[in-house]
């Protein structure tokens, strides 16, 4: 088995261009409400986006690509439930 090292960043650690890529990614899955209304994350204030990413434990590479799904400890927990 090969081992690779991946640097993970929280939203607030990214530069502006990477943050924009995160917003595009988040907008692919808008927040839906009971009245069938959808809200796009890119319309939120920066501090609200930061809170959303932290609450959902999203991690990103240096360029803003989501990598939180690579956390093998979390994946292992799901596999053994």
Q: What pLDDT digit, counting tens, does each position of 1-43 carry?
A: 788 788 999 999 999 999 999 999 999 887 777 777 788 888 8
Q: Is residue 6 part of a domain?
A: no
Residue 81 has a pLDDT of 47
pLDDT for residue 68: 73
Q: How confident is the model at residue 79 (pLDDT cuts 50, 70, 90)?
A: very low
- Answer yes or no: is 50 within a domain: yes
Residue 51 is assigned to a structural domain of this protein: yes
- CA pair distance 7, 11, nearest whole angstrom: 13
In a domain? residue 5: no
Q: How many domains, in total, are found in the chain?
A: 1
pTM of the model: 0.74
State the pLDDT confidence band at 73, using cuts at 50, 70 and 90: low
Parent domain of 16: 11-79
Question: What is the rounded end-to-end Cα distance, in angstroms, of the chain?
Answer: 25
């Amino acid at each position: 088995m090969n081992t690779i090292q991946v640097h993970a960043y929280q939203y607030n650690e990214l530069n502006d261009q990477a943050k924009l890529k995160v917003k595009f990614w988040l907008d692919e899955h808008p927040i839906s409400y009971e009245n069938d209304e959808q809200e796009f994350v890119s319309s939120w204030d920066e501090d609200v986006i930061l809170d959303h990413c932290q609450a959902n434990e999203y991690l990103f590479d240096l360029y803003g690509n989501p990598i939180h799904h690579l956390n093998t400890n979390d994946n292992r927990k799901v596999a053994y439930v």
